[in-house]
Amino acid sequence: MRATKTEELLRWGAARLRGLADPGREARRALALACGADGLLPERLRPYEVQRFRRLVEARARGLPWPALEGSTAFLDFEVLVPPGVFVPRPETEELAELALRIWRDLPGSPRALDWGTGTGVLALALARARPTAEVWALDVSARAVAAARRNAQRLGLRLHLLRSHGFARVTGKFQLLVANPPYIPTAQLARLPRDVRAVDPRRALDGGPDGLRWIRALLWEGPDFLTPGGFLLLEIGHDQGEAVLRLARAAGAWKEACVLRDLAGRPRFFWGQRC
């Protein structure tokens, strides 16, 4: 079978992806992935590369995000593997990591941190990279997520204390920092999420219960039991949940300071609390 010209494939791919913001760029990215190119694209593709390219384009047209297609994604200054069935890290969580790092770097002595609902492990890995000798724990209810976090830690040469746990069920000891990107989408809104989210992210990594606050409520009420006095809690929350989260924090009665911080787009996005 003869090789297929790259230009022909790119035209077909761009036409198939015309609903996206930059279909030409999307098609080139799919072609590079299909043939393993790390620079200039070849002039022709072999038949098996053409088939792979077409599958990638069709998957992208269905809404699958690039991390799911490529099997990895960048986070801050490192890269993690993103296997199927594990939550794909988003830019907002990078902002959460940066907030956590500001606190983490200034904590005295030998602090302990806990990443609740770790997914691919990105938050725990960011903390471990900043202070390799400190103790960083990470938990998730998903066996796939724990396995992904373990593999990513091994690839980066970092040590994490990994737990498969439903909430705090298997957590012991106290921490100076607790950070989490919990499920916070109200159940009724899941069907209205973008296709690339619904197609890839596991439902239990998104579903925050009827009001979206099920797990945030648990973290605000149970989290203080696992924090040292003066310890910090950082949460990613929905952009419209700030007032509700602050009411829950006040009702919990365990936080001497609490506020909601805005993301780079100006939306209320992160809860910051310090334990009494």
Q: Which residues carry out catalysis? A: 87, 181-182
Distance CA 183, CA 166 (A): 13
Q: Please list, in sequence order, all residues whose beta carbon lies within 8 angstroms of the beta carbon of residue 109, skipping any fewer than 6 positions away.
A: none
Asked if 112 and 134 count as a contact pair (C-beta separation under 8 A), the reply is: yes
Query: How far apart, in Å, do the first and last CA atoms of the chain sit?
Result: 71
Asked if 57 and 30 count as a contact pair (C-beta separation under 8 A), the reply is: yes
Quote the DSSP letter at residue 38.
S
Q: Kindly provide the residue ranges of all beta strands, DSSP E only, lying in 132-218, ordered along the sequence.
A: 135-140, 161-164, 175-180
Q: Kindly provide the residue ranges of all beta strands, DSSP E only, lying in 117-223, ordered along the sequence.
A: 135-140, 161-164, 175-180
